[in-house]
Structure 1
Amino acid sequence: MARPHVLVIPYPAQGHVLPLMSFSRYLAKQGIQITFINTVFNHNCIINSLSESSHDYVEDEINLVSIPDGLEDSPEERSIPGKLSESVLRFMPTKVEELIERMIAESTIISCVVADQSLGWAIEVAAKFEIRRAAFCPAAAASMVLGFSIQKLVDDGLIESDGTPKVNKTIQLSPGMPKMETDKFVWVCLKNKESQKNIFELMLQNNKSIESTDWLLCNSVYELETAAFGLYPQILPIGPIGWSQSLGDDKFTSIGSFLPQDRDCLDWLDRHIPGSVIYVAFGSFGFMSKVQLEELAIGLELTKRPVLWVTGSGDQPPIKPGSGLVKVVRWAPQREVLSHRAIGCFVSHCGWNSTLEGAGNGIPFVCIPNFADQFINKAYICDVWKIGLEFEQDELGVVSKLEVKKKIDEVMRNDGEYTKRAMMVKEVMMKSVAKDGVSYGNLDKFVNWIKEKVN
């Protein structure tokens, strides 16, 4: 019998590529052939970051292909979310369509296109070729529900038709969902009109395109977002993707990373007692003013606890030379780090992947969100699940060193209140991907659907 062949298309950013790569690995383990489409720039980053053993694994399991994205080869330009959204909307659709045409001309049968939910046009391209299609949301269901609620927000007089807030107000889309501030909506909080316009336009187009998808999958957990899934039952939770034991060796969990990982930090963690280390990481886009970096560094030093700090593409933190309590790396195998017994607290920007990885390992958070969906995720962590605290900013918008020390001490205090709740959330997440779990069941149905129409 012929193997089904799935074409996977992520939005070209690190936080989107990683979960879709995990999903692709899961599908490959079920005997499904995968072609994974990256932009040329991201494709080269991934190839250059692979270890030798990972190279062999990818060649055996997943076919990595690339298309141009119309941007300069500078990381600076690519780190501007609005720029990327503009390129994704204006340039990439034609390139994906040309690739599918070539594959069909070579008699390749594509069983299904799995596209990032942020790429509604990819669903339209698949529909044009009469290929079955699934949208994959790498963010919380609440983020998708916010996007689907745009017209209601306009009708209720909360935002203009271009997405600009009319009022500064905290809203709740339904009881049980996280509260959201209108001036921090996903498309608003970039404080840049051009970026806002590009992202808002992309979201509006996605809302229309997504109507023609066969499946709407979300890298989330039903029990953690019951209210959001209740509002839109067509969104099916399949997360946390990649946590199923069927994926095999841990060292492959970060295939799709744009930066090579420093695995020495795992040996460093081995030398520390359980629950003692503060893990600091702000994702691949992590950016912070020099003043804020200084306050954060001093505040961490005041805790007198060991710190593992991941800089990503951000600035080197101003750590005093010779400080044996601090380990600084550019990029880490985050899921392995967060599962290490030494980690006691996660100082995070609250990207959804980091949120799932921290919560899925029973780690409490201290939150410092920057933009996009990070404010929604922070609200889940602090207000809904109650497994962390948010740093409060002063009148200049800076988190002071004393605030850093205070919140970390509170989260890591001896009674372990936050850790206990985080361990309860971990248990809920583990049940979701175990047999009889909601996520496991949805994944199983999807795989069977992929396979059922293969000749």
Structure 2
Amino acid sequence: MEKEKACKAHVVVLAYHGQGHINPIVQFSKRLASKGIKVTVTTILSTTKTMQATAGSITFESIYDDCSEGGTAGAGGFKGFLDRFEASGSQNLTELIRKQENSDYPVKCLVYDANIPWASNIFKQFAIPGAAFFTQSCAAIASYYPMYCEMSGEPVPGPDFPLSGLPAPVIPNMPSMGPTTGRFPPMFLNILSQFTNIEKAEWVLFNSFDKLEEEVVKWMSNLWPIRTIGPTVPSIYLDKRVENDNGYGFNMYKPDTDACMKWLNTKETGSVVYVCFGSAASLHVEQMAEMAEALRQTSSSFLWAVKPSEQSKLPTNFVEETSENGLVVTWCPQLEVLAHQAVGCFISHCGWNSTAEAISFGVPMVAMPQFLDQMTNAHFVEQVWGVGVKPKADEKGLTNSLEIGECINLIMNGERGQEIKKKAIRWKELAKQAIDEGGSSDKYIDEIVARLVAN
């Protein structure tokens, strides 16, 4: 109680479900809490039940019981889940904020995942500032915005988006949200809804840093009050200023931490290829086979995280036949793995969290994007930041084992790989500088805190 009394202000954070959304917004919440802000994170019950044990400096509150109503597997599928989350969540969040009005710490700001556009109705109702939090890269969101303008029948304000040559986002086979009646499928329309009422936000926050996406940030700053407050990697790996911040506290799958770290400890510096395609991407059987063959043929050791739902796609006897050179696990403690000196290369789907983590740890990448923003991130990994290579895929999106193997060898053994490693280390240094005391991202967080305290 004494610690709470010392808080400068109270912020409520509304988090979207899913690991790629929860992790960065909770890390930002920890940063606010470390600067004397009382933080309440609200989300669905299945997530808060997982996070309670690691709450630390922030409080978790459920505003929707997805467990009793089946979550995304309940009535109406994914769309039914979103409708129920909005109906129940908006009511419960409103009640939570109202209850705080006569307390010692009334809510001064609502930080919300941009995937929850109905949050803007709530912060307007209470006449408090709202901060939209985007969990994809600045470049990916900037590339979506002209599509939103097209959908809305409005011209894009200002000059054209500055970066040419970006690949089009691939729309994956995602849950149905109804029939397609226009150019964009319903699921993509839902993604574009992130921009709804964005002009009403006091701040538009990104898990990035100014120097990483400098040209895009300048362009977006003409549209919105953008603040890059990343990378949102636990403090122990960057500035070490947030007490006990050594992990995200949320995993959709239980990591095989002991097995991974013991195995890595037996390997030489920079000798291991780490492979992980994230919590959402799903490789088809043919791609799993090509990846397996590339790893079978490589002279490097490999650590491959194959989540439970993908295990059946592994070639017969692959695990046993490659056990001398590789380790296959169901899930990895990715932060600890990327920070380990034995890891010399990361084969990734290029989800934004994984990309930002690899940059923060200075690990070169083999970029194999699967859908949506991953295509943009992979382009930047190779063409803009120079911290990795992107193997070619055929017209069906399949990348063969020879192509994958050549990219692994290029990074692990080639002359170009040495240049890529130097650039990766340089970006690691810049990422740390951004969040260090007085760095660009840290200054933005301080600015937000000062505004909250002044109110």
State the TM bucket, normalised to the shorter chain: 0.7 to 0.9
Q: 2:452 aligns with which of 445, 450, 453?
A: 450
| Aligned equivalents of 2:454, 2:187: Cα separation in 1 | 37
CA-based RMSD of the aligned residues comes to 2.9
Please name the residue that 1:61 is paired with.
57
Contact 1:7/1:114 (<8 A) preserved = yes
The 5 A counterparts of 1:409-448 are: 409-415=409-415, 416-448=418-450
Does structure 1 residue 291 correspond to structure 2 residue 279?
no
Please name the residue that 2:109 is paired with.
112
- Quickly say closer, same or farther: Cα 1:192–1:259, change in 2 above 3 A: closer
- Quickly say closer, same or farther: Cα 1:101–1:219, change in 2 above 3 A: same
| Aligned equivalents of 1:237, 1:376: Cα separation in 2 | 18
**Residue 449 of structure 1: CA displacement?**
1.6
Spell out, residue by residue over 1:141-160, the C-alpha distance to the aligned partner (whole angstroms, 9 max, x if none). 112222332255569999xx
| Aligned equivalents of 1:305, 1:335: Cα separation in 2 | 21
Spell out, residue by residue over 1:189-234, the C-alpha distance to the aligned partner (whole angstroms, 9 max, x if none). 5488747644443345432321111111111111111111111212
**Residue 87 of structure 1: CA displacement?**
3.4
**Residue 244 of structure 1: CA displacement?**
3.6
- Quickly say closer, same or farther: Cα 1:116–1:128, change in 2 above 3 A: same
Letter in 1 for 2:319: K
| Aligned equivalents of 1:205, 1:156: Cα separation in 2 | 14
Does structure 1 residue 223 correspond to structure 2 residue 225?
no
Please name the residue that 1:407 is paired with.
407
- Quickly say closer, same or farther: Cα 1:178–1:388, change in 2 above 3 A: farther
SS at match of 1:359: helix
Contact 1:244/1:433 (<8 A) preserved = yes
- Quickly say closer, same or farther: Cα 1:75–1:152, change in 2 above 3 A: closer
Q: TM-score, normalised by structure 2?
A: 0.84
Does structure 1 residue 143 correspond to structure 2 residue 129?
no
Does structure 1 residue 202 correspond to structure 2 residue 190?
yes
**Residue 45 of structure 1: CA displacement?**
4.5
| Aligned equivalents of 1:95, 1:281: Cα separation in 2 | 33
**Residue 83 of structure 1: CA displacement?**
5.6
| Aligned equivalents of 1:151, 1:103: Cα separation in 2 | 31
**Residue 280 of structure 1: CA displacement?**
0.4
| Aligned equivalents of 2:436, 2:87: Cα separation in 1 | 37
Contact 2:210/2:217 (<8 A) preserved = yes
Contact 1:349/1:368 (<8 A) preserved = yes
Please name the residue that 2:249 is paired with.
255
Contact 2:319/2:328 (<8 A) preserved = no
Please name the residue that 1:163 is paired with.
none
**Residue 102 of structure 1: CA displacement?**
4.1
Q: TM-score, normalised by structure 1?
A: 0.84
| Aligned equivalents of 2:446, 2:228: Cα separation in 1 | 12
**Residue 238 of structure 1: CA displacement?**
1.0
Spell out, residue by residue over 1:285-335, the C-alpha distance to the aligned partner (whole angstroms, 9 max, x if none). 131112211111111110021111112354123323151222222222212
Contact 2:167/2:376 (<8 A) preserved = no
How many residues are matched?
423
Please name the residue that 1:235 is paired with.
226
| Aligned equivalents of 1:412, 1:397: Cα separation in 2 | 24
Contact 1:113/1:132 (<8 A) preserved = yes
SS at match of 2:307: coil
- Quickly say closer, same or farther: Cα 1:362–1:237, change in 2 above 3 A: same
Identical counterparts, % of pairs? 29
**Residue 391 of structure 1: CA displacement?**
2.1
Contact 2:77/2:175 (<8 A) preserved = no
| Aligned equivalents of 2:423, 2:396: Cα separation in 1 | 33
Ranges in structure 2 where 5+ consecutive residues have no aligned partner: 179-183
Does structure 1 residue 380 correspond to structure 2 residue 380?
yes
**Residue 128 of structure 1: CA displacement?**
1.3
The 5 A counterparts of 1:280-429 are: 280-316=275-311, 317-318=314-315, 319-321=318-320, 323-415=323-415, 416-429=418-431
Ranges in structure 1 where 5+ consecutive residues have no aligned partner: 48-54, 159-171
| Aligned equivalents of 2:25, 2:143: Cα separation in 1 | 21
| Aligned equivalents of 2:411, 2:439: Cα separation in 1 | 30
Please name the residue that 1:51 is paired with.
none
